[in-house]
Amino acid sequence: MMKLKLIASLVVVALLGACSEGAGGSAAAGGSAEVHPGEQTYTRFCFSCHAAGIAGAPRTGSVEQWAPRIAKGADALLRTTIDGIPPGMPARGLCNQCSDQELADAIDFMVSKSR
């Protein structure tokens, strides 16, 4: 009986410890680690080609490959993303259900990682 109680209180202590650790971690990360609004769309639809630079896609994170694209301006990039660039870049980056705003956010996410 005593042993059970001891184990139970140890579990409680362990849980409390884990809990406060988690809270501390997220508080420290707060603000700086906000999720970009385009990250989810990017991860689901654009990552497959743009992470590794498949078929000549400008690779996410490559300042060199993105600079000439960024220079065209955000509006131009949104337009080519909506229309696609045959043959490599499919219209809407294969996300037919994405709104123009979601595509713009996804582009902004890649651009923000690549300048």
| Sites of contact with ligand HEC (CB under 6 A) | 41, 45-46, 48-50, 54-58, 69, 72, 77, 80-81, 85, 88-90, 93-95, 103, 106-107
From residue 92, give the alpha-carbon distance in Å to each of 8, 32, 34, 43, 105.
55, 30, 25, 14, 12
CB of 47 to ligand HEC, least distance (A): 8
Task: Compare residues 29 and 67 and give the one whose CB is closer to ligand HEC.
Answer: 67
Residue 85 has φ and ψ, to the nearest 5°, of -125, 100
CB of 66 to ligand HEC, least distance (A): 8
Task: Compare residues 32 and 97 and give the one whose CB is closer to ligand HEC.
Answer: 97
Task: Compare residues 15 and 52 and give the one whose CB is closer to ligand HEC.
Answer: 52
- Reported residue count of the chain is 115
CB of 32 to ligand HEC, least distance (A): 24
Please, is 106 exposed, middle or buried when counting C-beta atoms within 10 Å of its C-beta (0-12, 13-18, 19+)?
Answer: buried
